[in-house]
Each structure stands twice: as C-alpha cells, then as structure tokens.
Amino acid sequence: MSKEGSHRDIRKQIEDLSQDLRRHEYLYYVLNAPEISDEEFDRRMRELETLEKKNPELIALDSPTQRVGGQPTKEFASVRHPVPMLSLANVYSEEEFLEFDRRVKEGLGGSHYRYICELKYDGIAVSLLYQNSRFTQGATRGDGQTGDDITANLKTIRSLPLKINISPPASDFYMRGEVYMDKAAFESLNDRRALEGNPLFANPRNATGGTLKNLDPRIAASRPLKLVSYGLWFPGIETQGWSQSKSLTWLEEAGFPVSREWQTANEAQEAIQFWRDRGTHRAELPYEIDGTVIKVDDFTQQERLGYTAKSPRWATAFKFKAQRVRTKLVGITLQVGRTGAVTPVAELEPVSLAGSHIRRATLHNEDEIQRLDLRLGDTIYLEKGGDVIPKIIAVDESVRPSDSKPFIMPDFCPACGGSLLRSAGEVIRRCVNLSCPAQIQGNLAHFASRGAMDIESLGWKLIEQLVAEGLVKDPGDLYTLSIDQVATLERKGEKSAHKLLEALGKSRNQPLERLIFALGIRHVGAGAARVLARHFKSLDTLQAATIEELQTIHDIGSVMAQSIHQYFQAPANLEIIEKLRRAGVRFEAENKPDNELPLAGKSFVLTGTLDNFTREQAADSIRALGGNVTGSVSSKTDYVVAGPGAGSKLDRARSLGITVLDEPAFKKLIEI
C-alpha cells in the first residue's frame, strides 16, 4: 500500500475510534446506560491515544482524548455574545405570577399562547458555540454582553457533546445552559477539602463558579461538574417556526443533556401547579433548584412580547421562597484548623429553621463579615435553601444598637497568640506558628481519624490532654507513650491507657495509603494517597520523588506535586517520619499487582450499616482485593453492599438492576 493510502487508513481509524468513544461517553454520561465496561472504554481510549501519539497531525479538536488538554492559562479571553445573555425577572407568589400572566395576555392581544415550565437550576449560565457540528467555544455570561472564554474547562464535562451527529439547524448555533454540581458530589468535595485543609465552598453554585473560573483545566477535570441545556439559538430561529419545546426536543436528539422535568401549560393555573409541585419535592432532587422558569413557548410570540433593558417580557423566574428566620448574633468565635486556617463562626441565639435547630453558622472568612457589615448584637436574617447549610444573608440595620462596632479580625491566633498571616490573593488568615496547640491537636486528630490511621480510642478530649501535658507534639510522639503517662491523665485509668496503647499498636500495621493520608500533606486526600501508595510502594520512595516524577502520575497535579515535595523538605516533618519509623509503623505496601487481585476492576457502593464491619473496614477489604469503592450508584457500579438503614442508594441499585449483597453475601465474596 502506498504511504499516502496507509495514512488515509489511519485517519479513518482515528475518526472511527473517536466517533465510537464519543458515542460511549454519551451513553454513559447523558443516558446513564453504558453498553461497554469501563475497562473496555479505557482500552479503546488508550488505543486512540497511541494512534494519535504516533500521528500528532491527526489529532482533532473534538477528539475524546482532548477533553483535558493544555496547560493553565494566564487569563481568559473575552467572548462577545451574539445576542445578550439576559437575566430573568423574578416572581415569588401566585399573585405576582398572575400579574406576569396578565401582562403576557395583554402583550399578545388576545391570541392563544401556551407556556413551557422548566426547573430553574442553581448553577452558572454558559453559552456554547457549535460550528459545523463541533463544539468550538464556550463562555460564561459575564456582564451579559461579553463573558470569559472557558472552553478548556467546559470540555472537561463529559456529558458535553464535542460533536453532534444529527444535522444542525444552521452551520453556527449556540446552546445555552447551566453548569452545576450535584448536592452529594458537592458534599464529598467539601469533605475532601476539609481533610486537606482547604477552605470550604459555601454551596454547590459557588463550587461550580470557582471551578469554571479556575485557569487550570485540570482542576475542572477533577471536579464533578454537570451540564443541563435549556436554550438553542441561531440566526433566524425566531422566524422559522421554532418554539422552546421544539428546541428542547431537538437538543435532546442532538445528544445534549436535557432535563426531562419540563412540561407545557395552557393555563396560568397549570404553571402555578408545576411551581407548587416542584417546590414541595425540591429537596428530593439530587441537584439544587431555586425555582421554576415559565416561558412563553412560541418564538414568534416571544419576539412580539420583546424585552425590557434587563430581561425578556416572555419569561419569568418563578422562585421558591427561601426559608428564612430572624435571630440575634451573640458572638463571633474563631476556629483554628490543622493547617492554621482561621474560620470565623457566628454564634446565634438558637432558632429553628427548616426543621433543624440552629445555634451556629459559618462565616467563611473575614471578607464575608465585611460584606455583610456584621456587628455583635445585630439582628440577622438566616436562610436555608434546599438542604444547604444555613447562611446569614443580611443584617436588619434598623434595629442595630447605636453603639455597635464593626468586628475586627485579630492579628493573633486565638489558640496560641502567634501571628496570623493573610497571603496575597487568599481570603483566609493562617496561624504561622507550627507549635500552635490548635494545629497540633488538629493534626493529631487527623492522623488518628477513621479514614487515616483509625486509632479508635484517641478522641478529641484525650488529644487535648496529651498536648496540654506536653506529652505529645506530633503523631510520632504517640508511639512513645507509656501506660503510666496515659493513666495519670485526669479521669484516665489503667484500663483506658491499655486500650489506647493497644489501638496504637494495631495502627502500626495500617496500609501505606492510610499512613500517607494520615501525614496530612496539604492537598493530599485519601484518593491521592491511594494513588501515591500504589505508585511508589513505600514511604521512602515517595519521599525521594522529584516534583517532575510526581507530576507524571495520573491524578497528581502540579499543586499537589509541589506540596508533597515541600512536605518532605521540612526538617520537622522528617523528624516525625523518623519517629514513626523507629516506632515500627509500616512504611511498605503489600506487594501484589492490582490486576491479579480477585476483585480487580469491580466497583462497589456501601450503604446502610453492617454488623461486623465499619464502612472503613468494609472499604479496606474491598480495596485490598483490588476493587474500588465509590460514593454513588451508577450503571457502572458492579455491587451494592446494603445493610439495615440503606436508603435511596439501594432503590437506585434495584432500578438499575445492580447486584445487591447483604452482609453474609458480602462476607462470602471477600473470603474468596
């Protein structure tokens, strides 16, 4: 075959393979109905990567290998929207909605119209440009006229079609929609951030916004962003017989993720009923909505109604009332985390809100206090939307005591008196004193926690005592404790001292991944620790790794690589490691190739409680046999292990036809 001919064959092979992978991404991420296993998908992806590596000139922009590409940029380019991205006017009650309906009726001069009712997703609005069926550019709303070019970040969202396979209505078209994060995914993201000592996101919307605005697309790739589509636009769409319902149907056919939760309404009353129903069931949705959006369906009628300066006259956001109460701010306390981060917390006169009793609310950082102009003794409004954490949203200044003074963040650590430092670009202050008792206690608590070394009898109270008595300064010191030392602590007898030493003894043998996680290296969560343990197989090889070497590992980004390297440079940390070594803590991984283990490639979800295992123990057993454990049930899950108290995960497993194991069946499986 001529050289030319074989090159053409390779091009065809690459195109076919890309097409095939895009289809399977769609089946998996949009329809939630995969046809091939993860392994098979990965195998095909690797095949494409290899072909592309050998023929880099054939790499297409819409190749599935290019979702996470490129290096961080310095800033986002600006993108001008072809039609402004407007916001919606809000109504909050049936009366206000009927007012809106009256204006629509009047505007349309008596002709018949119908509404389309949709959910109002609480995320970040984006606009995606498709040219010749391919995704070429994506932008944020910005000021409505121009937004930021966040194409690289958007490409990492696997449900976003890189190419559409049905004929487009115009060579260039725009899809508008919302990027958001599921509530559960947001919670686990924050849990992980707490363990890694990073500041928490206030809600899924902020987490989504922060992620989309990050200049490094690898961050977006690592976060569980989702996309939902609610708009189609191309030049001339207004006059070609299109409607909103036709757009949604077309978008769905074209492979875009479209929610099924929409319906048309011939009467205002039906739209009101939709708003009522969705309001009642909003907490059951896996994502957050803050209302419904009611639009006139027909595009010709939309044009007739037109726009005000800010928003269309043919649509309104029909918002849910946030649950809100008033109470008093009685104090602001400061919490010092294990990384020294100082978080202000509002102490409130207890109130009940959306079914829970609330006495505290996080204020995140001092900028938030300033933004609210919060003062001690203020009467504040507290809100809770969906099932999010309660948030202080405003101050009632009309009843503010006349002598109140603004809250000033101290320059000194409330725990040790050391200086607090706020680095440029950061919103939090950190205590820089490494021997700050709050940090020492935080580090010890993390070391002993269930996901780390799991030292059961080492609770917060005992840690406090050990640190106060000067018996322990770092995790290495724990292993030198004697029965006598512990037994003489207040209210500790010999029996509990024995128990602690026994637990410490057991912890010496924890798997390497737990030790790595327990060290509390910034940015290294349990997942990354597992990757590191598998790769390096011993703490000493990890310690010797260069930044470059660390960065070549899949899932380890540059920030983490630097943080790991830095950790092993600090003399205080090396001292801890030597103490742990002397104490006989296991530094080596068990040596078995993962793919030969009996549960290799199998994905598990645990739900409910088991009699003979804690969640951690069950997960450890699965991982030790090569399986992996995830938090949510999808069609990729192989087994759901369910004990009493299992909830929605079990229902979901059943509806997807996934094998459900009870405790005896699970025990049998792991005894293989």
Catalytic center residues: 120
Going from the C-alpha of 318 to that of each of 99, 101, 243, 263, 312, the distances in angstroms are 12, 12, 20, 15, 14
76 binds ligand IVH (CB under 6 A): no
For 553-588, b/e burial (b = at least 16 CB within 10 A) is beebbeebbebbbebbeeeebeebbebbeebebbbe
Give whole-number Cα distances, 633 to 186, 223, 438, 602, 639, in Å. Answer: 16, 17, 38, 13, 9
Q: The tokens 């803050």 sit on which residue? A: 290
Q: Is 87 in the site for ligand IVH (CB under 6 A)?
A: yes
Smallest separation (angstroms) from ligand IVH to the CB of 592: 49
Taking contact as CB under 6 A, which single stretch among the options 85-93, 219-227, 365-373, 652-660 is the one that binds ligand IVH? 85-93
Nearest distance, CB of residue 262 and ligand IVH, angstroms: 8
d(CA 351, CA 205): 26
Contact letters (x/-) for ligand IVH, 152-191, by CB under 6 A? --------------------------x-------------
Amino acid at 340: G
Query: Between residues 294 and 599, which has the closer beta carbon with respect to ligand IVH?
Result: 294
* 86 lies in the site for ligand IVH, by CB under 6 A: yes
Task: With CA atoms as reference, report the closest residue to 538 among 587, 586, 585.
Answer: 587
Query: Does residue 249 bind ligand IVH (CB under 6 A)?
Result: no
312 makes contact with ligand IVH (CB under 6 A): yes
Q: How far is the CB of 293 from ligand IVH (least distance, A)?
A: 4
CB of 291 to ligand IVH, least distance (A): 9
Q: Which is nearer to ligand IVH, 25 or 178 (CB)?
A: 178
DSSP H/E element including 473: none
**Which range in 84-92, 271-279, 452-460, 548-556 contacts ligand IVH by CB under 6 A?**
84-92
Tokens found for residue 101: 């309906």
Q: CA-CA distance, 603 to 35, in Å (whole number)?
A: 16
Between 51 and 315, CB nearer to ligand IVH:
315
Least separation, in Å, of the C-beta of 210 and ligand IVH?
Answer: 16
Between 168 and 209, name the residue whose CB sits nearer to ligand IVH. 209
Out of 22, 67, 81, 120, point to the residue binding ligand IVH (CB under 6 A).
Answer: 120
Q: Considering only 86-94, 267-275, 409-417, 443-451, which stretch makes contact with ligand IVH by CB under 6 A?
A: 86-94
Query: Can residue 118 be called a binding residue for ligand IVH (CB under 6 A)?
Result: yes
Write the DSSP string, 538-559: BHHHHHH--HHHHHTSTT--HH
**Nearer CB in complex with ligand IVH: 182/638:** 182
Q: Which amino acid is at 35?
A: E
- 278 scored as a contact of ligand IVH (CB under 6 A): no
Q: Is 196 in the site for ligand IVH (CB under 6 A)?
A: no
Buried b (16+ CB within 10 A) or exposed e, 342-357: bbbebebeeeebbeee
Q: Does 296 bind ligand IVH (CB under 6 A)?
A: no
List, in sequence order, the alpha helices (H) in 64-137.
94-107
Choices 46-54, 83-91, 247-255, 389-397; region in contact with ligand IVH by CB under 6 A: 83-91
315 is a contact residue toward ligand IVH (CB under 6 A):
yes
Angle at which helix 183-195 crosses helix 526-536, to 10 degrees, equals 60
Q: Is 227 in the site for ligand IVH (CB under 6 A)?
A: no
Say how many residues make up the chain.
Answer: 672
Contact present, 384 and 322 (Cβ < 8 Å)? yes
**Which value, to the nearest 10 degrees, does the dihedral of the CA atoms of residues 275, 277, 280, 281 take?**
-110
Size of the site for ligand IVH (CB under 6 A): 15
CB of 178 to ligand IVH, least distance (A): 5
Q: Edge-to-edge strands of the sheet including 639-642? A: 628-630, 603-607, 639-642, 659-661
- 3-state per-residue secondary structure call for 310-324: CCECCEEEEECCCEE
Counting beta carbons within 10 angstroms of the beta carbon of residue 365, is it exposed (0 to 12), middle (13 to 18) or buried (19 or more)?
buried
Radius of gyration from C-alpha coordinates of the chain = 28
The CB-of-84 to ligand IVH minimum distance in angstroms stands at: 9
Query: Do 542 and 563 meet the contact criterion of CB atoms below 8 Å apart?
Result: no
* Side-chain-facing half-sphere of 232: CA atoms under 13 Å: 27
* Residue number, 319 or 565, with CB nearest to ligand IVH: 319
Interface segment toward ligand IVH; rule CB under 6 A; list 212-220, 309-317, 409-417, 659-667: 309-317
Q: Quick one: angle between helices 663-670 and 615-624, nearest 10?
A: 30
Q: Which span sits near ligand IVH by CB under 6 A: 17-25, 117-125, 495-503, 546-554? A: 117-125
Smallest distance from ligand IVH to CB 85, Å: 7
Give the residue among 522, 515, 480, 453 at the shortest CA–CA distance from 195: 522
**Residue with Cβ nearer ligand IVH (86 or 184):** 86
Asked whether position 125 contacts ligand IVH by CB under 6 A, the answer is: yes
| 375 touches ligand IVH (CB under 6 A) | no
Interface with ligand IVH in residues 400-459 (CB under 6 A): none
Pick 312 or 414: Cβ nearer ligand IVH: 312
CB distance 476 to 579 below 8 Å: yes
When asked if residue 477 is in the footprint of ligand IVH (CB under 6 A), the reply is no
Q: Residue 45: left (phi > 0), alpha (psi -120 to 50), or beta?
A: alpha
Number of H helices, E strands in the chain: 25, 22
| Residue with the two structure tokens 């946030």 | 322
Is residue 320 close enough to count as binding ligand IVH by CB under 6 A? no
Q: Which amino acid is at 75?
A: E
Does 88 bind ligand IVH (CB under 6 A)? Our answer is yes
Would you say 117 or 369 has its CB closer to ligand IVH? 117
**Nearer Cβ to ligand IVH, position 178 or 477?**
178
In the complex, least distance from residue 141 CB atom to ligand IVH, rounded to whole angstroms:
6
With binding defined as CB under 6 A, does residue 305 bind ligand IVH?
A: no
Q: Which of 293, 463, 629, 650 binds ligand IVH (CB under 6 A)?
A: 293
Q: Which residue sits closest to ligand IVH, CB atoms considered?
A: 125
Quick check: 317 binds ligand IVH (CB under 6 A)?
yes
| Residue 230 interacting with ligand IVH (CB under 6 A) | yes
Region from 31-39, 81-89, 361-369, 623-631 binding ligand IVH, contact rule CB under 6 A: 81-89
Nearer to ligand IVH, 249 or 419 (CB): 249
Cβ distance to ligand IVH smaller for residue 121 or 201: 121
Give me the least distance between CB of 255 and ligand IVH, in Å please: 19
Residues near ligand IVH (CB under 6 A) are 86-88, 118, 120-121, 125, 141, 178, 230-231, 293, 312, 315, 317
